[in-house]
Each structure stands twice: as C-alpha cells, then as structure tokens.
Chains A and B, each alone.
Chain A
C-alpha cells in the first residue's frame, strides 16, 4: 500500500539554525499538509498546500516557516531560525483531493529536537 515517507526520522539542531524536513507524499495525491505535535499536546495543523501554493496556514506558521514542492515528488518544510519551542514531532500528510471526504494519510513523522 502506498505511503507517505518522511526524512529524517530524528533531527537534532542548534537553536537559531535552519532546518529542512522532507516528505514524499503518496504519488497520485494533490494536497499536502504539515502538522506538528509537541510532547503531551494535540496534533496541530500548520499548513496545507495545493497547486504550488499555500491553501491555508495556522497562526503557528509564521514568517520563520516556509514550504516548497521543489520537484514532482518532494514536499519540504523549512524553519529558518529554530527556537527551543519548535521541538516537536512534525507530520507530513497528503490526500488525493480536497472535498468529497478524502482522508489524509500521514507519514511516521520527524522528531525535531532543538538544543
């Protein structure tokens, strides 16, 4: 069964450094998402992306965050200058299309640890 893959599984970065989290969505999916889960808290929506542009973003997704689909397969989340509070599990998800009740399928996440 096709799946969403994320790399790396664990990223350790010094505060203030840039980090790029990578995702390969399911190949025929058109909608892409990033979520995060801080330890002990809910899974929170960050951003959705369709047709090479952001569809919606949350308050968390400030100017330090950006997303990109640099080629036909990868979808990346960049944090420009990391803060301690960015430490979390980051999940990528994809869906075939919006509406018509299409479920989002998630990767196994990248654990980001900011020191």
Chain B
C-alpha cells in the first residue's frame, strides 16, 4: 500500500533555518491531510492539518501547503528548533467510513545547533 509516500527518510537542518518535509499521495479520493510528529517511545502527536478545499494552513511556526494537481503536500517549519527533532508522518483520509488514516513512512528530522 503506497498511497502516501514520504520519499526522504531523513532531513538535517540547522537551528533557525527552514525545514521542509514533503509528502506525495496517489489516491485522489483523499480530502483531509494531517502531519504528526513522533518522539521515540511516544505516540504520534497531531501537528497541523489541511482540508482539500484549501491550499495553505498556518499555525505558528508550522505551515502546510497542498498542491492537489500534483498530489503533493509539504510541511514548513520556520524557524527550526532543536526540539523539533523527531519523526514526522504525513497522513491522509477520505470522508466517511470511519475516516481511517493512511500514513506515510515518516521523515526523521534532525535540527542541529
């Protein structure tokens, strides 16, 4: 099941710079997209989401962009902080049917001092 893909397994960024995490999807029925952050030994923590009727959603240092024609979304973190170091998962769902989430494989972000 490769409906949601995160092609970069890892990303290293300097503190204060922008982190850009990417996600691609293949199922055109997806209409709600989410980003989760996960620390070791913890569950995924919800960060930010976007509906398919929008192309941008912003919350503090986090912005998610959605390009429906390219079936691509990205998460921008600016400025990046050392506490942002974690695995970031992209997830998607469709309306109805219990709204199950389909996850990507995750990108390990390391923010260096």
Contacts and interface: CB of A to CB of B under 8 A. Distances in A.
B100 A103 contact: no
A39 to B, nearest CB: 12
Given A42-B103, A55-B97, A101 B32 contact: yes
A56 interface: yes
Q: How large is the interface on B (under 10, 10 to 19, 20 to 34, 35 or more residues)?
A: 20 to 34
Q: At the interface, is chain A mostly helix, strand, loop or mixed?
A: strand
A35 interface: yes
Contacts of A102: 99
Contact of A48 (B45, B89, B98, B103): B98
Nearest to A37: B103
Interface string B34-78: 101000011111100101000000000000000000000000000
Contact of A4 (B43, B49, B51): B43
Interface string A33-73: 10100000111110011100001101000000000000000
Q: List 7 tightest A-B contacts by C-beta distance, closest first.
A: A48-B98, A55-B98, A56-B98, A106-B43, A45-B100, A43-B103, A103-B46
Interface of A: 4, 6, 31, 33, 35, 41-45, 48-50, 55-56, 58, 91, 95, 98-99, 101-109
Interface of B: 1, 32, 34, 36, 41-46, 49, 51, 89, 91, 95-106
